[in-house]
Structure 1
Amino acid sequence: MAPDVDSTATRLRHQLTARLADDGWLRSPAWRAAVESVPRHEFVRRFYRETDAPGLTTWAPVTPELSGVKEWLQRAYADETLVTQFGGREIDWNDPKPISGAHPTSSSTLPALVVRMLEELQVHDGMKVLEIGTGTGYSTALMCHRLAPGRVTSIETDPDVAARARDALNRCGYAPRLVVGDGLAGDPEGAPYDRTIATCGVRHVPCAWVRQTRPGGLILATLRGWMRSLGLVRLTVGHDERAEGRFIAGDPSFMIARQQDAPESLGVIPAPDDGISRSTPYGPDVLTSAGSGFVAQLAMPGARFFSMPADDGTPCTYVLNATDESFAVLTRKTPKNNEENEEWEEWNVRQGGPVALWDVVENALGAWRAAGSPMPTEFGITVTAEDQRVWLGSPDGPNWRLPVPAEAGGGPE
């Protein structure tokens, strides 16, 4: 016998709510009531889940028809991110197939992160909220339940994604103000807002968000780069297009805003004799480790890296800057004859172009280590109309400029 959808979904929803509360993500009665009431399965009627297949990351389709109602509902109420679009293209749900090595471009974010952000938004009754990135509409519905639909505006850049979210919200009885457009430009028509929350990653905080959030209001967003996510920041808006705040969590995984995504091409691999070589105490692991990777991303906002053997078979890690032709190539050094107990560096770096990328990384890591290798929550950010900088400890401490293009209110990247 097929399970009753409504009663099964209600039971699973209450179980999810209890787990989120037990884990400390869901703290306030108002948000708990929202999670208990909003039917997530209505926003993810069809989705893809990540499998554990070896090799390229593979996603498998999940629908009531393919997987059965029971499994579909169980996954809809799991604390998992459920992918609903790849590569900015719609999925042919008439004959869905497993997908490998694709680039997710829309999803329903795992509920733990959704409710954590909503709790950190510090909303109160009667506030107006602007959401950047409607996605499936699930978080939009939670805010509608908490604040009333007339207090919520949500912007989605993809018309197809926006249409599905509108249908789901209508089915659930919510009618927020929905806008199809560039979320980085905000919503001047509905401004000012008391709170602005972004459910996509951004390389810098758009000045439009600062202008459209009232003084004293909050902006909650995930900063990220082309190598990795940086973390969740909460800014308090002041006057004269100024906002300041701190990182309140490290490395939440949100898709980057499509308008700020990295170029498809990684760049040109330098020739074997390009650049100047020297020893370095840092290998490629500093790009992937939690704390050092955060600092490396700040130091090289336009860079990406990958590993592959050189023509002679030597394993190499290439760091290429997408905004100019700067590069760094890391190779493991061959150990010297150590009979005299000589000290030697483990890595070699060859770098060239307008910016000595690895020098920049070493300087940033030096400042970070001198401060005791602090976690991302020890960093903050100051946003002005002219500049945006992430700083360590205080605004007077070591700082790194975010890549703000001239047309967005800053100098060149």
Structure 2
Amino acid sequence: MSRDWADAFAAVPREVFLPDLMWPYDMDTGASRSVDRRTDPVAWERAAYANVPITTQWDDGQHTGPGPGRVPTSSASMPSVVTRMLADLDVRPGARVLEIGTGTGRNAGLLAERLGERSVVTVEVDERVAARARAALGSLGLYPEVVCADGRWGHPAGAPYDRVIVTAGVRGFPPAWLAQTRPGGVILAPWGTHYSHEDALVRLTVAEDGSASGPFLRPLEFMKIRAQRLDWRRFAGHVGAYPGDAAASVTSVPLAELGEGRPFRGARFVLGLCVPECAQVLNTGEGEATLWFFDMTEGSRAWASVRFRDGEREATVHQWGPRRLWDEVARALAWWRERGRPGVDGFGLTVTPEGGCRPWCGGPGEPVPSFGGGG
């Protein structure tokens, strides 16, 4: 960490931005637990300075606790993630920064302390979250512009920006972000596909023609931007009588090869790049697990399932509908193997001014193949 950022971190402590009741994530158990400063201040302070993400809101504010809710919808990121993202932003005094996703407000506070509050605009969709962030920032004498709005539209009144930093997982790039970034400016965002929850941090440089391109830096995972969340209810009518008249086959591909149980190793992220408009979910039971794939194409009800049983070398595959989703996934996996299983940092993304995303491997001139629809 540079001396400039070290001073900012010292002046903008994490604890100021955390509520009395919060839910730190246990990295060992994979679960969130509640900690209340009013009843256990020692545990609260210990959690506040631990290198773990902390949920500060569940279920878009409809849940108040004391236990965890269903879906985490606002949080304080891991301190190590915050530090590395700010370093990746490569921002200098004099630059204007737009942040999408205010959350607790700490990231905006760090930027304001480093660059000056007039150089920072932060956008938050949730009015209550935005109000708490303003109050926390004000308690430190920091007053960057906190805008309560849908972050997909950016904040045109403050454009152009030298840097845009997004602190929520995105599944598509709103054209407004590109239009509001000056040529040569940088957009830093966690991006991924609906194939899985996994994101990868991409650093895009905006070109004169309004497009942007750049490499993925590393895997991570953020809460998804609200307007781009996947609603699993859309697949409720996909599967009727199971397996019905679905085509049956077998596969020797092990579950671990598909990235299940081994998150952030690249498999699920890369399969999402190569198999468009596909969502997958793993259901587990005693002695078996079933990996489901659903076609997200409008009007399609295609699906596939792969059932793995403990102690069996082959898994049973069923596929139904105009797309053979498992065949597409298997072909994408074979392509990745043939390339030597490059990590996330071997890939990149080009975004058109209209928001179209074209992933590549090795360089912008080497587009990732699409195996969707038999392609």
C-alpha displacement of 1:388? 1.2
User: CA 1:164/1:315 → structure 2, altered by over 3 Å: closer, same or farther?
Assistant: closer
Counterpart-to-counterpart distance in 2, 1:52 and 1:389: 36
Query: Which residue of 2 is the match for residue 223 of structure 1?
Result: 191
User: CA 1:276/1:132 → structure 2, altered by over 3 Å: closer, same or farther?
Assistant: same
Tell me how many residue pairs correspond in the alignment: 359
Query: Which residue of 1 is the match for residue 81 of structure 2?
Result: 113
Quick check: 1:31 aligned with 2:5? Answer: yes
Query: Which residue of 2 is the match for residue 306 of structure 1?
Result: 282
C-alpha displacement of 1:39? 2.2
Q: Is the 8 A contact 2:52 2:78 kept in 1?
A: yes
C-alpha displacement of 1:278? 2.2
User: CA 1:123/1:41 → structure 2, altered by over 3 Å: closer, same or farther?
Assistant: same
C-alpha displacement of 1:321? 3.0
The 5 Å alignment of 1:133-152 reads: 133-152=101-120
C-alpha displacement of 1:73? 2.3
Q: Does the residue aligned with 2:245 lie in a helix, a strand or coil?
A: coil
Q: Is the 8 A contact 2:279 2:295 kept in 1?
A: yes
Of the three residues 47, 57, 61, the one matched with 1:75 is: 47
Q: Does the residue aligned with 2:132 lie in a helix, a strand or coil?
A: helix
C-alpha displacement of 1:60? 1.1
Quick check: 1:357 aligned with 2:325? Answer: yes
Quick check: 1:278 aligned with 2:249? Answer: yes
Q: Does the residue aligned with 2:316 lie in a helix, a strand or coil?
A: strand
Deviations 1:96-154 (A, max 9, x none): 42226x21100111111011100100101100000000000011100001100000000
The 5 Å alignment of 1:188-203 reads: 188-203=156-171
Q: Is the 8 A contact 1:283 1:330 kept in 2?
A: no
Counterpart of 1:185, as a letter, is W
Q: Is the 8 A contact 2:75 2:104 kept in 1?
A: yes
The 5 Å alignment of 1:119-130 reads: 119-130=87-98
Query: Which residue of 1 is the match for residue 272 of structure 2?
Result: 297
TM-score, length of structure 1 as denominator length: 0.80
Counterpart-to-counterpart distance in 2, 1:122 and 1:315: 44
Q: Is the 8 A contact 1:128 1:194 kept in 2?
A: yes
Deviations 1:351-379 (A, max 9, x none): 12232211221222122111111110000
Q: Is the 8 A contact 1:228 1:297 kept in 2?
A: no
The 5 Å alignment of 1:145-160 reads: 145-160=113-128
Counterpart-to-counterpart distance in 2, 1:118 and 1:53: 23
C-alpha displacement of 1:395? 2.4
Q: Is the 8 A contact 1:300 1:361 kept in 2?
A: no
Quick check: 1:66 aligned with 2:39? Answer: yes
Quick check: 1:326 aligned with 2:302? Answer: yes
Unaligned runs of 5+ in 2: none
Q: Tell me whether 379-388 or 234-243 shows the greater mean CA deviation.
A: 379-388
Query: Which residue of 2 is the match for residue 99 of structure 1?
Result: 68
Q: Is the 8 A contact 2:170 2:191 kept in 1?
A: yes
Which structure would you say has the larger Rg? 1
Q: Does the residue aligned with 2:146 lie in a helix, a strand or coil?
A: strand
Of the three residues 7, 12, 19, the one matched with 1:45 is: 19
Q: Is the 8 A contact 2:27 2:52 kept in 1?
A: no
Counterpart-to-counterpart distance in 2, 1:158 and 1:123: 27
Counterpart-to-counterpart distance in 1, 2:165 and 2:224: 14
Q: Does the residue aligned with 2:87 lie in a helix, a strand or coil?
A: helix
Counterpart-to-counterpart distance in 2, 1:61 and 1:399: 44
Quick check: 1:88 aligned with 2:57? Answer: no
Counterpart-to-counterpart distance in 1, 2:369 and 2:16: 43
Question: CA-atom RMSD, angstroms?
Answer: 2.7
Q: Does the residue aligned with 1:127 lie in a helix, a strand or coil?
A: coil
Q: Is the 8 A contact 2:25 2:52 kept in 1?
A: no
Deviations 1:226-255 (A, max 9, x none): 3121310000000222100000112x1210
Counterpart-to-counterpart distance in 2, 1:124 and 1:309: 52
C-alpha displacement of 1:275? 2.2
Query: Which residue of 1 is the match for residue 148 of structure 2?
Result: 180
Counterpart-to-counterpart distance in 1, 2:99 and 2:288: 48
Counterpart-to-counterpart distance in 2, 1:83 and 1:192: 32
Counterpart-to-counterpart distance in 2, 1:197 and 1:130: 6
Q: Is the 8 A contact 1:367 1:398 kept in 2?
A: no
Counterpart-to-counterpart distance in 2, 1:29 and 1:378: 31
Counterpart of 1:73, as a letter, is E
Unaligned runs of 5+ in 1: 1-26, 337-344, 404-413
